Amino acid sequence: MDRVFSGVLTGILLLPVIGAVLILLLKKESKEQARIIAAVIMGACLLLSLGVFFGFDTDAANAAAANGQTYFAFEDKIPWIESIGVSWHLGVDGISAPMVLLTSLAGFAGVLISWGIEDRTREFMAFFLLLVTGVYGVFLAVDLFVLFFFYELAIFPMYFLIVIWGWAQTREYAAMKLTLYILIGSVIALIGMLVLYFKAGQATGIYSFDFMDLQAATKAGVFDNAFIGGASVAKVWFPAIFIGFGVLAGLFPFHNWSPDGHVAAPTAVSMIHAGVLMKLGAFAALRVGVELLPEGAKVHLPWIILLALVNVVYGAFIAFRQRDMKYVIGFSSVSHMGLVSMGFATMNVTGMTGAGLQMFSHGVMTALFFACVGMVYDRAHTRDIPSLSGFAQKLPLVALAFMVGGFASMGMPGLSGFIAEFPIFTGLWGRPVFAPADGLFGSFNYYGAIAIVAALGIIITAAYILRVVGQVFFGAFDEERYPHITPLKIYDKVALGLLVFWIIAIGVYPRLMQPMIESGIKPIVSMLGG
């Protein structure tokens, strides 16, 4: 095995672990020190992530894509468990580099938002850093054993963060529901991964969990020529892997753990949960499912897109019906994650690049939404929309930030939401026909019809965003009911500013991220035949 070790990605991954250990070594009363350590650790991770993002060589990635190869930058690769083909192999491609940056943005902002937590501050910050570690691990892993290890690691800190610090009314129910749903989905996906591992090993003599080795087996046709019950491995196991990981992405009908989890979680955990954790499912489904089983993707994505369509429209309608601000954002996340799956299902560069942009855009805007909701709730002690009004008078920066996130969610030009959603719909409408299932629909424009129906989600999104903004932030403020509304702290303002900046930056200058994501999408589309 070739050994390479830049150390940057291992540093990003291990820094939160070191921070968690240092925090747990503090005395229980050392709350301020725990907050400072967490902020310093996540600040350092953010700086390293920015270095990785801006240091990514897009030209080299495009050159590799021209040859059908996936390019990984800043690689760390050393043997780990050689007897079963496991290596400590980390790297970022054009898709994962923005996700690492997203994790750092949401994690750093989450620490700042959580500055006022007084209940077991030390333990909260330690668990939060471990949660971030799990998320980093999935996005950085090139070895599938390492990917799955960190995928599972991210679930357990989430459970404790919700059940101990979450909303008292529903936290135990929500934490258990979240854990069981994700564990069941991940076990199904794990079985599929093991099938690929053994089939590739039997055919090539190389038993390895390394993505590059498995991708070589894919290109050699191993998974297309190995059969189970008369059907190829690719066709049989693609839906199990894609939907198994898709549970964490909130794919219908396995989505209903998500809004309950969002609502029950404390603010910072909701920011990571909706902003980043749901992207783990989508990313893993793309990495393991679509990239390693492209023939299965061609067969199954044309019907899986119907599940994503339900996500988009149903999630938007249910969000519109909610009274609780957190439930509005929770179901909004279900709706917007449906657009990610729809982008994958286009199987062309335009739509899939839009899906990658949507993962980043939705992650930032949802983290911003939950931060704003948390700031209002901490002062008003209610999230009931009809009970709130006029909060723009007391919290003008919160109102402004929420509106920026809302306009991005609606797909307003000049913000990241438009830059992400427009390519998805364009990719749907102009989708080349190369999936066998397309023939079932004859001359009927199947994907065009899906794009038209999905557009309803944008209209309903505008309705519920404008409803929340109008009822919560405008109108008369009730001084008698809310006599003590404290102003924002400096760390609250920094968190809001950081998230708003990226929503505007990507919207105004999409080339900041679009070419990078496209370079990661091109080799996938070439394997799909596009």
The pLDDT tens digits for 148-174 are: 999 888 888 888 888 888 776 777 787
Residue 392 pLDDT greater than 90, yes or no: no
Question: How many other CB atoms are there within 10 angstroms of residue 198's CB atom?
Answer: 12
Mean pLDDT in the chain?
Answer: 87
Q: Cα dihedral angle (478, 483, 487, 492), rounded to 10 degrees?
A: -80
Question: Considering only 13-27, 78-92, 247-261, 298-312, which range has the smallest mean pLDDT?
Answer: 247-261
For residue 76, the cross-strand partners are 5, 90
> What average pLDDT score do residues 504-513 get?
94
Residue 54 pLDDT greater than 90, yes or no: yes
The whole-number pLDDT of residue 227 equals 65
Contact 429, 348 (CB under 8 A): no
Residue 216 pLDDT greater than 50, yes or no: yes
> What average pLDDT score do residues 229-256 get?
83
The whole-number pLDDT of residue 424 equals 92
Residue 182 pLDDT greater than 60, yes or no: yes
Phi and psi dihedrals of 134, rounded to 5?
A: -60, -40
Contact 285, 254 (CB under 8 A): no
Residue 433 pLDDT greater than 60, yes or no: no
Within 8 A by CB and 6+ apart from 121, the residues are: 31, 34, 35
Residue 292 pLDDT greater than 50, yes or no: yes
Residue 438 pLDDT greater than 60, yes or no: no
Q: 514: pLDDT confidence band, cut at 50, 70 and 90? A: very high
The whole-number pLDDT of residue 83 equals 87
Q: 435: pLDDT confidence band, cut at 50, 70 and 90? A: very low
CA–CA distances in Å: residue 457 to residues 342, 409, 451, 464: 13, 11, 10, 11
Residue 430 pLDDT greater than 60, yes or no: yes
Residue 444 pLDDT greater than 80, yes or no: no
The answer to whether the pTM exceeds 0.85 is: yes
Residue 115 pLDDT greater than 90, yes or no: no
Residue 503 pLDDT greater than 50, yes or no: yes
Residue type at position 321: R
Of the chain, the percentage scoring pLDDT greater than 90 comes to 40
